[in-house]
Structure 1
């Protein structure tokens, strides 16, 4: 099998039902936003924005992960636009172009567009991961449209790799999205390159990303974008591991956008074999906890967690063992009737903070600590019972 990176003049894909979703991430590549002469163009962005607006009007939530900052920066300082520019110059172009990129998206919406710049390190560090999730969740609650991009001014490796496809998958898991839409300038996956093989067949549905499929994926098909089909399949694999489906579609195609607006798909749907909840609980059960770290709870809290699936509040906490930071994975134990391992989860507070707020009401957190990360010490979505 081969995976095409070029699109035939007329798509051979047929409509199929699209995924059902409440919250989604839409990844838009540079090839859809960059003008031929440099800078940004609304040519394809407008159709994508209309797709987003239609879904926002239905009460759904969307986060856009958008490339294009470097391409936009090239129009601001054309002298730095040659392909052999040193990394520092490319980082400068990203800084110049990011404002242009946000301005492009803002012109299409009557709600505030929020800029969120992330690196993969922000999402690998547990504390910064929690901060990023809290920020994006709050932005969605406020009714804004978050537009995420890699912080290319500082993330050298990511700038080289053009890894916004994988960043989009990570953001989808971060915000508990049901689906990752990847808009590109190709129709989807084919059994061979349709430009050179007339027998090439469209692949409308993929049950799993296999090593053979990844090995056959091509590179970038655009002089503007830096990601190819391989990074899109890598992203789909990451999303599937989190219980999130991925949809590959042609963002330059009005027919593909019309189909999506009606809950149908002209493209490739990459499915997942597990639910988002099951994937997250599996991760929580197996990620290493901080050695010797535990939150000690009373019998009432243990019953509420184990029997009712409740979050852990300060009032049910007796104390904390060991030292750990906000965002660390810790054990939750009860010692009222001998040591009982109740659950494990991600703590929103450090060990020192927990010792200070133990047995207190949630309304006292601010007064005790001088800050507040929320009423839940461990949220039930960040916890797995044992």
Structure 2
């Protein structure tokens, strides 16, 4: 997961209205391409719509309603900007925090992002500024990036800034300020020390980046803060080296998720055949409709369900992608028949491997095992950070 702020994209940084400039974005685009070449999936959260919109129309002022209109004007330009730097198709995804608080919309967004990654596209996410009044007013793309990192089960959140990470003081005002290579915990004192204004074109300063890192940490995701204006720093990322600040994850993401799935109340049960049970255990696969024998209970999409085999033993638990009635209609059928049977499809699996925990063995399906494609991201970087 990579978040890029408007201060790295806007042209003529000292003069509002300069549109979008590829001077720094080109290096970040190369990093994305290199990560994808290494079989790492990347989701991009990008600001810059307001700056792009301001270059298309003469409009003085900086009021909230005006910024909403400018964001609407500039969104198409922002996507075209990234498409011009990307060798793969770019997909626009507009989200608000409400999309991530509402369970149904959360699951729909997650399914769409997974499908885009499976198709080989680069999802470019931005806040839906035209309707997200509070988010635009607060400049919350940093925190949105943390929420989306959790949504796609990212291994690492990268936040590109216009300075080299976190310092002991303001590097432009304090000559004695020293870089801080690692942060174990984001404390209230650290947040207070990081408070300060953002650039003329940006809305989030270092405090919002640390807030985002703290939220990602609680989800088991480390955050790397680095200078997106330094070509050497950006190039080093592709080699697994961070010149910046690493905010550590507070817990193991997969372990925390598995523990929750183990103990969350189940709303129903899926009976699966022997072939499906073997695929789950031996290949780390998702549960496909062809392996489902029956659905018991009344559950909704996103509920936790138990997986039982031929006997009555519980083999696993997971989040179901379809409600009970839909599962009954697609049970035993091929994934390609889902849309013909129920009129739509959220994906080809009934329970995705990322949302599954097996109860009768110590090891769990690996994110990189053979099976249905699921979100992955940079994993080596946190292990090879340079001070």
Q: TM-score, length-normalised on structure 2? A: 0.80
Answer whether contact 2:280 2:287 (CA < 8 A) is retained: no
Aligned residue in 1 for 2:151: 174
The CA distance in 2 between the partners of 1:166 and 1:26, in whole Å, is 12
Match for residue 321 of structure 1 among 289, 293, 297: 297
How many residues are paired up?
353
In the alignment, does 2:7 pair up with 1:26? no
Structure 2 residues without counterparts, runs of 5 or longer = 360-387
**CA-CA distance at 1:137 after TM superposition:** 2.3
In the alignment, does 2:262 pair up with 1:278? no
Aligned residue in 2 for 1:94: 71
Match for residue 239 of structure 2 among 237, 254, 262: 262
Answer whether contact 2:6 2:48 (CA < 8 A) is retained: yes
In the alignment, does 2:61 pair up with 1:82? yes
Structure 1 residues without counterparts, runs of 5 or longer = 1-24
- Give SS of 2:54's match: helix
Answer whether contact 2:320 2:350 (CA < 8 A) is retained: yes
Answer whether contact 1:287 1:329 (CA < 8 A) is retained: no
- Give SS of 1:43's match: helix
The CA distance in 1 between the partners of 2:112 and 2:273, in whole Å, is 34
In the alignment, does 2:357 pair up with 1:384? yes
The CA distance in 1 between the partners of 2:309 and 2:30, in whole Å, is 56
- Equivalence map 1:1-386=2 (5 Å): 25-35=1-11, 36-38=15-17, 39-79=19-59, 81-83=60-62, 85=63, 87-285=64-262, 293-297=267-271, 311-314=286-289, 315-322=291-298, 324-326=299-301, 328-332=302-306, 343-358=316-331, 360=333, 362=335, 365-385=338-358
- Give SS of 1:202's match: coil
**CA-CA distance at 1:320 after TM superposition:** 2.9
CA distances 1:28-85 after superposition (whole Å, capped 9, x unpaired): 1111112224122223222222322333344433221110111211222222x412x2
The CA distance in 2 between the partners of 1:303 and 1:108, in whole Å, is 44
The CA distance in 1 between the partners of 2:191 and 2:130, in whole Å, is 30
- Give SS of 2:134's match: helix
**CA-CA distance at 1:103 after TM superposition:** 1.8
Please identify, of 185-194 and 62-71, the stretch whose mean Cα deviation from structure 2 is larger.
185-194
Q: 1:94 to 1:353 in 2, by over 3 A?
A: same
Q: TM-score, length-normalised on structure 1? A: 0.80
The CA distance in 2 between the partners of 1:375 and 1:77, in whole Å, is 44
The CA distance in 2 between the partners of 1:78 and 1:99, in whole Å, is 17
- Give SS of 1:280's match: helix
Please identify, of 106-115 and 94-103, the stretch whose mean Cα deviation from structure 2 is larger.
106-115
Answer whether contact 1:301 1:316 (CA < 8 A) is retained: no
The CA distance in 1 between the partners of 2:80 and 2:320, in whole Å, is 37
- Give SS of 1:104's match: helix
Q: 1:30 to 1:283 in 2, by over 3 A?
A: farther
The CA distance in 2 between the partners of 1:310 and 1:51, in whole Å, is 30
Q: 1:53 to 1:296 in 2, by over 3 A?
A: closer
- Give SS of 2:42's match: strand
Please identify, of 103-112 and 227-236, the stretch whose mean Cα deviation from structure 2 is larger.
103-112
**CA-CA distance at 1:281 after TM superposition:** 1.7
Please identify, of 148-157 and 33-42, the stretch whose mean Cα deviation from structure 2 is larger.
33-42
The CA distance in 1 between the partners of 2:336 and 2:175, in whole Å, is 68
